[in-house]
Amino acid sequence: MKALITLATALLMTLPTMATEPFTHVEPPNWWVGMRDTRLQLMLHAPGIADSEPVLAPYPGVTLKGSHRASSANYRFIDLDIAPNAAPGEITLTLGGRTLRYPLKARAPGSAKRQGFGPKDAIYLLVPDRFAQGGSGQPGGMKEGLKRSAPGGRHGGDLAGMRQHLDYIAGLGFTQVWPTPLVENNSATYSYHGYAATDFYKVDPRFGSNDDFRAFVAEARTQGLGVIQDIVLNHIGSGHWWMADLPAPDWLNAWPQYTETHHARMTLQDPYAAPSDRKRFTDGWFVPGMPDLNQRRPELATYLTQMTLWWIESAGLSGLRTDTWSYSDRDFLSAWSARIMQEYPRLNIVGEEWSPHPAVVAYWQRGKKNHDGYVSHAPSMMDFPLQANLLAALLEEDGPHTGLTKLYEGLAHDFVYPDPANLVLFDGNHDTPRLYSVLKQDVGLTQIALAYLATTRRIPQFFYGTELLMQSPTERDDGAVRADMPGGWPGDTVNAFTSAGLSPAQRDMQAWVRRLFNWRKGSTVIHKGQLMQYAPLQGVYVFFRFDAERTVMVVLNKNAQPAVLALDRFQERIRGGEQARDVLGGKVITLGDRLTAPARSPLILEWAR
């Protein structure tokens, strides 16, 4: 009898442990009261939980709407409704002998009305692993350690390093920072780039913690900088925790044998495209190490949407850059972008649609009336067509259909876009060769490209290190393109942040970029003004930005010698006798009959209208 009592006592003593056994994953890890859409779906992951029915302890304003399992025995999806009158606090759910105390937080004041990036802004793109090391990274326990000598290895840049040099970015005149993805990429090799997530809700420890990211965003705000987060919706890394226990067999786009996307993105608009081609484009995998997600699965679509909202609200973001835009399911993208903009009507989302065709890029921008009735809610897209035209303009000989004519005609295609000023134009990015190298190490052409970037009717995005004339091979070489920022590591003999060890050409370029983008930061005529362009003649391209108060004249002279312009050609914009200031040189000149544009350089003049 005594033995039975002892056994019963022992069993009772184990019950509290069983009742509070932790869940392997609870995602999202918290939520907020006061969201416009009151629905919330929790994904709970724990051994054998699939058949456990949840019970919600009474909580004013919170209702348990239902729950269901998928195929795996280890997932339960719980649907809640959080009414507008619900107060912050902690709700309690019990299921399967487990208790979940789930936080509902108050939103930051003005969160829903946050202002996203737009034409007033200039974006500085950086690769966190390659920018600066500040001590927040914790590489222990990760599959890949640090090896700075390897071009494709982890070099050790982290959030603390980025945070320490926000003043440098702001000082250059930029108002937004876009780091490539920071979420965990726990792969054995080539993990630094960030586009193969293994945990959507966790900053990679080699960069720091979620709190380090929030501190980075908060510090950026004090420097006048917004932060754009890079979101990947199309695929995950093969080391993602889902891969050991998929919620359902159709969680991924599966094929009888491994099938890679053929990147034929135009199949989505092509009225003659074979359905099998469309399927291979969207459902094919990027590489074997990047499983393709099936966003047609309702729980996954909800998961990705809530994950995006969680980062915006949790970190205080000013915008999103969405990787490999059109590779995701297009109906999902429509619903996803609608939900994001419903919660944050003034936020901005820029999608990566790597196409040279304006009609293809325009298809995905909010407000476009498409031939097939497709509706997108993404305000912005990356302007790959105009970027390609800019490079061609500076590399090709000028002719009726070549050289500067391509840039002129490329901008003329703005009639296909519902909101061309909200497109993001870039000098380069982490996937393209360095601008200075593509332009054959010609400083003049590089400055022409950047002047165009800063003054045309777009949101400019600048790739870190361009201000230092950083170089790379002209064919794709990711490790070289994403080289370390000089001065970001202890012991660096060259330091971009202090200018120590820079060559005279690098110092001049850095100072020139600082003048250009700090001027742009305060130039409302560039942010909001109209644009009028004149067809290129004899290697010179001229356009104007203007409003009711100011006029800016931009002259891009590609020639190896100065060009003399007859100003009567521009009579729609120049009356004559205006006192114009050279924005980059500082001189004041009187506009008469002729204007001399310096050789192989941009000239930017500004005057009161």
Return the structure tokens found at 441. Answer: 């190490």
Burial of 174 (0-12, 13-18, 19+ CB in 10 A): buried
User: Strand, helix or coil at 601?
Assistant: strand
Provide the β-strand partners of residue 607: 551
User: What's the CA gap between 486 and 501, in Å, rounded?
Assistant: 9
CA 347-516-565 angle, to 5 degrees, is 120
308: left (phi over 0), alpha (psi -120 to 50) or beta: alpha
Q: Where are the beta strands (DSSP E) in 20-74?
A: 25-27, 31-32, 39-45, 55-56, 62-68
From first CA to last CA, the distance across the chain in angstroms is 101
Residue 412 in contact with residue 381, Cβ under 8 Å? no
Determine whether 323 is an active site residue.
yes
Rg (CA), the chain: 27
Token pair recorded at residue 312: 């915006």
- Spatial separation of the C-alpha atoms in residues 495 and 165, rounded to whole Å: 12
Contact assessment for residue 299 and residue 70, using Cβ atoms and an 8 Å cutoff: yes
Residue matched to tokens 């002892």: 6
| Cβ-based burial of 309 (10 A; exposed 0-12, middle 13-18, buried ≥19) | buried
In angstroms, the Cα distances linking 317 to 37, 114, 125, 188, 322 are 19, 9, 15, 30, 14
Give the 3-state secondary structure of residue 249: helix
Q: What distances in angstroms separate CA 291 from CA 192, 285, 331, one per listed residue? A: 18, 6, 20
Between helices 210-222 and 298-315, what is the axis angle to 10°?
50
Q: Where are the beta strands (DSSP E) in 113-240?
A: 123-126, 176-179, 183-184, 199-203, 226-231
Question: In the 3-class helix/strand/coil scheme, how is 372-401 assigned residue by residue?
Answer: CCCCCCCCEEECHHHHHHHHHHHHCCCECC
Of the candidates 313, 323, 353, 398, the residue annotated as catalytic is: 323
Q: How far is CA 507 from CA 211, 382, 495, in A?
A: 35, 30, 11
- Of 370, 294, 374, 299, the C-alpha closest to 327 is 294
CB 465 within 8 A of CB 492: no
- Catalytic residue chosen out of the listed positions 27, 230, 283, 352: 352
SS3 177: strand
Task: Report which of 409, 241, 305 is spatially closest to residue 41, judged by C-alpha positions.
Answer: 305
| The total number of residues written for the chain in this structure | 609
Q: Which amino acid is at 93?
A: L
Tokens standing for 308? 């995006």
Point out which residues pair with 462 in neighbouring strands. 124
Q: So which residues are the catalytic ones?
A: 323, 352
